[in-house]
Chain A
């Protein structure tokens, strides 16, 4: 019984996302489970990196798949991949949620809400570990402080490693727009991160910043 189920799951795991979606819409629960396990990570991370809130990321992940069950038939393979479709749906849910909860500035005062991704127990020495953790934390905060339209291209292109073409599909804009937004987003991130690094290194952040972005 269990072997049969495992064999079926293995066979289905070779199917692509579109075929799994088709099976899922026909009522196949295994297809949904496979599709979920294949795509939930990216959606969850995208929502988390966009919102900085684990509850929101969980809700968005759930809502995306509920939407897929309800309105999965609207997916058009000629317009893009299932993953791009899901990410586009996730983006809409995240933006709606952020608007609703007025969390456009997600760096909340509540320390429980503020997500830290440090994973203790790495094999680096404590000083390197601390420096690395601080760097990651400062980058994370800088990304979260970006305006949404710049944040989403950074999250997709830099953190999720999505191609420019697929990012354009997800955002519903031209590839050129993605490139220009990413360029602008990186400049903003540098502007946000430079004072800290400059203070550490030279102690004159304002002078360095003015010289680079004059």
Chain B
């Protein structure tokens, strides 16, 4: 009985408290502050957002253009390197040396071919490959691009084809112009003291096999 009465009194007290507070509201200055903050956001934030979004799109478009240009340039470069017709055209524009590496190698191979054919399979030496054939296509193109005139390879006294079986290496060196005379080539005495470029062909044994002069 008392509990029910207490419950009733509590409910009445809570209702009175609720009714007492029902009319309470936040002061007007809170609304002013909220609206002021809203206006400040409207001024600052949307502009910042617009700037950031436009900047984002600019960066995105620039990145896309950069990627597209890079892809086009890469494809063009690769096509130029891979296209043999283009390489041939470029080669044709270059003055041909009197005898190229390939001709020299072919000559050596032709000389030794009958002897090699007579050998059993396991005893046959490996085919001599010219150094230029092992180079990447891009390197080959790069060589053609340079405007150089070269003499034929002049064999050195101890050259033999067997030392080139496993390949060789061409090394660009600079020599005094007087060295031309050692190979029976004419020397302009007015430019006697100048340097001249030369390619030295080394075998796998590390010995110089041939030399050509480049201008």
A and B are partners in one complex rather than unrelated chains: yes
Query: Given that A48-B24, A136-B16 are known contacts, is A212 also in contact with B2, CB under 8 Å in the complex?
Result: yes
A40 touches B25 (CB 8 A): yes
Residues on A with beta carbons closer than 8 Å to the beta carbon of B3: 190, 212
B1-15 vs A, CB cutoff 8 Å, 1 = contact: the mask equals 011001101110110
A135: B residues at CB distance < 8 A = 13, 16
Residues of chain A lying within 8 A (CB to CB) of residue B22: 45
Q: A190 touching B39 by the CB < 8 A rule?
A: no
User: Are B21 and A117 interface neighbours, CB within 8 A?
Assistant: yes
Contacts of B120 in A (CB 8 A): none
Instruction: Answer yes or no: B117 CB below 8 A from chain A CBs.
Output: no
* Contact with A117, one of B6, B7, B17 (Cβ below 8 angstroms): B17
The answer to whether residues A139 and B7 also contact, given A27-B46, A66-B34 and a CB cut-off of 8 A, is no
Residue A97 at the chain B interface, CB threshold 8 Å: no
Flag if A197 contacts B16 (CB, 8 Å).
no
- Cβ of A36 under 8 Å from chain B: yes
Evaluate whether A32 and B34 lie within 8 angstroms (CB atoms) in the complex, with A27-B42, A143-B17 already known: yes
* Chain A residues whose CB sits within 8 angstroms of the CB of B33 once the complex forms: 62
Among the listed A43, A65, A140, A189, which residue makes an inter-chain contact with B10, where contact means beta carbons less than 8 Å apart? A189
Interface membership of A149, Cβ < 8 A:
no
A136 neighbours in B (Cβ, 8 Å): 13, 16-17, 20
Which B residues lie within 8 Å of A159 (CB)? 14, 17-18, 21
CB-nearest residue of chain A to B12? A135
Residue A58 CB within 8 A of the other chain = yes
Q: Which residue of B lies closest to A160 (CB)?
A: B18
B64 at the interface (CB under 8 A from A): no
Nearest CB of chain B from residue A188's CB, rounded to whole Å: 11
Check B17–A140 contact: CB distance below 8 A: yes
Interface check B92, CB cutoff 8 A: no
A residues 20-43 in Cβ contact with B at 8 Å = 24, 27, 29, 32-33, 36-37, 40-41, 43
Q: Is B35's CB within 8 Å of the partner chain A?
A: yes
Tell me which residues across on chain A come within 8 A of B111, comparing CB atoms: none
Q: How far is the CA of A117 from the CA of B17 in the complex (A)?
A: 8
Instruction: Tell me if A61 counts as interface (CB < 8 A to partner B).
Output: yes
The yes or no answer to A6 lying at the interface (CB within 8 A) is no
**A132 is an interface residue with CB less than 8 A from chain B:** yes
The residues in B between 32 and 57 inclusive whose CB is less than 8 angstroms from any CB of A are: 33-35, 37-39, 41-42, 46
B30 at the binding interface (Cβ < 8 Å): yes
Establish whether residues B26 and A58, one from each chain, have CB atoms under 8 Å apart when the complex forms.
yes
Among B7, B17, B27, the most chain A Cβ lie within 10 Å of the Cβ of B17
Most A CB within 10 A of own CB, among B7, B25, B46: B25
Q: Are B6 and A194 in contact (CB under 8 A)?
A: yes
B31: Cβ under 8 A from any A Cβ: yes
Among residues of B, the one whose C-beta sits closest to the C-beta of A190 is: B6
CB proximity of B47 to chain A, nearest CB, Å: 12
Partner of B34, one of A36, A41, A208, A212: A36
Asked if B35 and A29 sit within 8 Å, CB to CB, the answer is yes
Binary flags per residue of A188-214, CB closer than 8 Å to B gives 1, else 0:
011001100100000000001001100
Is B46 in contact with A66, judged by CB distance below 8 angstroms?
A: no
The answer to the question of A49 belonging to the interface, with a C-beta cut-off of 8 Å to chain B, is yes
* Known contacts A139-B13, A158-B14, A190-B10; 10 further A-B pairs (Cβ under 8 A): A33-B31, A48-B21, A62-B33, A132-B16, A139-B16, A159-B14, A160-B18, A189-B10, A193-B10, A197-B9
Selected A-B contacts with CB under 8 Å, 12 pairs: A24-B38, A27-B42, A33-B35, A43-B26, A48-B24, A58-B27, A58-B30, A136-B17, A136-B20, A139-B14, A197-B6, A211-B2
Write the residues of chain B forming the contact surface with A, with a CB cutoff of 8 angstroms: 2-3, 6-7, 9-11, 13-14, 16-18, 20-22, 24-27, 30-31, 33-35, 37-39, 41-42, 46
